[in-house]
Each structure stands twice: as C-alpha cells, then as structure tokens.
Chains A and B, each alone.
Chain A
Amino acid sequence: MNDFTRTASRHAVEAERDGNMGSDRAARGRWAKRPPGTEILYALSGVEKEYDDRSVLRVDRLEIRQGEIFSLVGPSGAGKSTLLRLLNFLEPPNRGTLAFRGRTFAPGDTMPVSLRRRVTTVFQRPILLQRTVWDNVAYGLRLRGRRRRQERIEDALEQVGLTHLARQDARTLSGGEAQRVALARAMVLEPDVLLLDEPTANLDPYNVGLIEEIVRNLNEQAGTTLVLVTHNVFQAKRLADRVALLLEGEVIEVADVERFFRAPEDERTVAFVQGDMVY
C-alpha cells in the first residue's frame, strides 16, 4: 500500500464514520493550514435566474473569498447547481450582477473565454470523452493549445491515483475512477476556482475519502478556491471554511463552518443541520 492509498484509506474510514456522527475540521487541527485570504473573488448582487419564467435562484448578496473552501448546502432543487453554472459563467443571470476579479457578468453578457478558463467544474455525473484516460485529462490543455503538457498530465494522474489506467478507454472505468479522471482533467488546468457539484454523490466511502483528500490538498497546496455543492452536511463540515444554506433558490445563511454547525442563526439552518428538515 503506497502513501497515497494509505492516506486515502484513512480518509475513507473517516468519511464513513462522519456519515454517522459528523466531525469537526477545527477539532482535527486542519486550521493549521494557511487561513483563506480576505480578497473577494466573487461578489453577487441581486442575482436572479429564471427558466421558462420560473424563478430558480434569488441571491441578494453573496461573496466568495480567494483561497477558501466555500460549501453550498441545501436540499435537491434548492438552486445549488444553477448557482454553480453562473459561477462558471456558463449562463448569465436574468437580473443582477456577478463580479469576478473586478469583471462584471450581467444579463446578456458573455464572459471572455480567457476569464472563463480560470474557473472549471467537476460535475456529479462526469461525462468522459470516448478516448483514453490520458486523452481525457489532456483535453482541456489541448483546447488551450498548451505544449509540454506531458508532465502536468502525469502529475494529475498520479494525484488521483490513476497512472496505471492512463492508456485505458475512459468508458470502461468504474464510477469512482471516472470521477477521479474528471477531477484530474480539471486539476491539470490549474484553475483559480474549482467548482465541485456533488462530486462524491453515489460513490463508495473509499472513493469519497480519496476525492476529499485530493481536493483538500489542492486547496491547501495550490491555493485553489473551491466551491463545493453538497447535500451532505458532514462533508461540508469536513471540508469547508465557510458554508451557505440555500433553500428554494434563496441564501438563508452564510457563516464560518464552526458557527454554521454550532450556532446557526436561522431556524431553518438549525433544522437543516439537525436533520429535521423534511425535503
């Protein structure tokens, strides 16, 4: 068992245990990492998103800071994935503004590709190309016309523990392996922001542990800002610096992870954290 697998196995066990009883990031000493910066990366103001005249997202104000792990929690249909699409500039809002590093994204705007390429998403159900694992990881670099990509791809595959599957057809992978390829193809791009849309939903505890370990390292070592969408409060508790609860398209509460879980202000957050919320 190599170091990578051993660490992953430990976190797999933790992930499984936390699924039952929860854990506290501060209590386990993870605050030892450098604190997230205070620079505002995203600033949303009066953002609304509609589909077919149906309002799915209404965010009065929300800020995401450089270098933090920001978790969006909430039940299915709360608007979490919609918010991620806006943060990835895949869709403009219907109303309001979304500022990223001083550039504003307003209704009808198309963000320049150069700016869009600083953010990437890992989706809940990754769709890999009908190519080898290596080619899938190389895809984003090819789009950017990057040369000398071999070393970066090797590094990314090593980080997700899939070096031995590099030449394998990506369609033959298991769900956990496919998700790790999706993570590698995003990480290899070295984005400023990595958006994670329920990246471990439906995965076994082993793969949950692996993926959590990888993204945590990415945040701590590369300083990548992470926005994690999850309906698993334990995962948010394990990974996040700050947490926001989204309900029916609205941000109910945003707080540091400790305060969010120990002393939430809104009664709906209390209900959600305690698992009393029926959805």
Chain B
Amino acid sequence: MDELFNGTVQAVRLIFERDPALLEIVFLSLRVSGIALFFSTLIGIPIGAFLGLTRFAGRPLVIAFLYTGMGFPPVVIGLFVYLFLSRNGPLGGLDSTLIPELFTPAAMIVAQSIISFPLVAGFTMAAVMGVDPQLRQQVLSLGATRWQAAVTILAEARIGVLVSIIAGFGSIISEVGAVMLVGGNIESKTRVLTTAIVLETRKGNFDLAIALGVILLAISFLVNVMMLYLQGRTFHE
C-alpha cells in the first residue's frame, strides 16, 4: 500500500514540477494515440455507417470479421505490423517513403489505427442500426439524396458514434503490447506511457510506475469527460 500511496504522491509531484521527461512521454502518447484515432475514425465511421445502412451479399461475413477485429489481441496485431514493416516483410521490403519504418512513432500509429478501427466501425454500425429504420424512408420522402439520408441517420446516431470514438481511444491509449513490439520503447523516440510503466516496473521503480499509471488514468478520464461533454445531453439525461 505504501507503494501505491507514494506513487500517487509522486505522480502529483511530477505533474506540478512539469518534469520534462514525463511531459515528453505524455505528449508522445497523446500524439500517437490521437493521430491513430483520427485515422481509425476517418475510416471506421464511414465503413460502420455503410455496414449499418446497406444490405449486400457477404455482409454477414464482413461483420463477422469486424467483430473478430474488435476482440483481436493488440499484441497479435503488433506482431503482424512488425512482420509487414520489417526489412524482410512485404511492405518494409518496398523501401518506400510512404511505408513507415519500424521503431518509429509512425509504425506505432499504424498498429494503433488497426487496433481501434474495428471498434470505431463496429460500434458505429450498431449505433446506426439502432436508429429507427423508418427514418431513412421519411427523410428520403422529404427529398434527401441517399448521401444526405446517410448523413442524417449518422447525426441521429451521434451519441452511439461518439461512444465508438471513446471506445477506440480507450483501446489504444492503454495498449502496450503492439507499441512495444513495433515502437521498441526507445527513450525520447518511441517511449509512451504504457511502455514506460512496463520498463519502470521491470527496473523495480514501482513508485514511478504507479505515478505513470495514475497519469495515464487521469488522461484517459479527462479525454472521456471531454468527449462526454461534447456529447452534450448524455450528462443531463
């Protein structure tokens, strides 16, 4: 219990002292997870909306893959990304500037985007499917194009869509296996909060590990509160 108490005290001290090493780790964590969330949202919401609004042959199979992706172990995704991006891998071997190198923040962004994408798409699909199916017909009868109808339905499902983004963020800000594999936990380059916690625990610096854990929890909490605030009425309903 002493370690937990000391860790919390140290977390507060580190935050107030604005420890440069800590700030670097925090900002890198937010940058990597933020960019990854941006990409997974950019791809996941349209795909989720498409799956929720349309019916086509093979849709159940696509949904089955999506649901599998939602529960896929991040470390396995990290392994696949590692193999694809490594020098001998199918993408790493291309030697293109468009392909991120291993042990860089870009590689970590790729891994985290793949981890969070199925969650964003899956929850968006469920949110869209939760909207009364009659609404689409009614907005079409008011003169909406198919595209306008899809945007309207997505807007009606906005609370669920925001939940999908929150779930996507939660899955990557706290993820450790994939970023450890593809990032390598290199100091001042690819070290993020989760990998730093693992490192400090292994070194026996439990106080510091707990301090980092408390900061990670605080960031996660603050981001979720911010998103719930954007969600507006949820707090009041």
Give A residues with C-beta under 8 Å from B: 85, 88, 90, 113, 116-117, 119-121, 123, 125-127, 129-130, 139-140, 143-144, 185-186, 189, 195
Contact = CB atoms under 8 A, between A and B. Distances in A.
Contacts, number: 46
Contact of A123 (B134, B152, B155): B134
B143 A127 contact: no
8 smallest beta-carbon distances between A and B, as pairs = A117-B143, A121-B141, A140-B142, A127-B135, A88-B141, A143-B144, A127-B132, A143-B143
A215 to B, nearest CB: 16
Contacts of A130: 156
Interface residues of B, number: 16
Given A129-B156, A130-B156, 13 more contacts: A88-B141, A90-B137, A117-B143, A123-B134, A123-B137, A123-B141, A125-B134, A126-B138, A139-B139, A139-B142, A144-B143, A186-B142, A189-B143
Interface string B123-145: 00000000010110111111111
12 contacts: A90-B137, A113-B143, A113-B145, A116-B143, A119-B141, A120-B142, A120-B143, A126-B138, A127-B132, A127-B135, A129-B152, A140-B142
B142 A90 contact: no
A207 B207 CA distance: 69
A144 B138 CA distance: 16
A85 B143 CA distance: 13
A121 B134 CA distance: 12
Interface of B: 132, 134-135, 137-145, 148, 152, 155-156
A135 to B, nearest CB: 11
A120 B132 contact: no
Contacts of A139: 139, 142, 152
B138, B139, B145, B155: residue with the most chain A Cβ atoms closer than 10 Å:
B138
A143 B134 CA distance: 18
A195 B134 CA distance: 16
Nearest to B141: A121
Nearest to A140: B142
Nearest to B137: A90
A250 to B, nearest CB: 24
A261 B132 CA distance: 38
Contacts of B137: 85, 90, 123
Contacts of A195: 141
Contacts of B143: 113, 116-117, 120, 140, 143-144, 189
A117 B138 CA distance: 12
A127 B138 contact: yes
A119 B143 CA distance: 8
A105 to B, nearest CB: 15
A170 B14 CA distance: 49
B138, B142, B152, B156: residue with the most chain A Cβ atoms closer than 10 Å:
B142
A85 B140 CA distance: 11
Nearest to A85: B137
A116 B139 CA distance: 12
B152 A90 contact: no
Contacts of A185: 142
Contacts of B132: 127
A130 B132 CA distance: 12
Contacts of B135: 127
A175 to B, nearest CB: 15
Nearest to B144: A143
Contacts of A116: 140, 143
Nearest to A139: B142
A88 B140 CA distance: 9
Contacts of B134: 123, 125, 127
B61 to A, nearest CB: 22
A139 B155 CA distance: 13
A123 B141 CA distance: 10
A129 B136 CA distance: 11
Contacts of A127: 132, 134-135, 138
B115 to A, nearest CB: 31
Contacts of B156: 129-130
A90 B141 contact: yes
Nearest to B143: A117
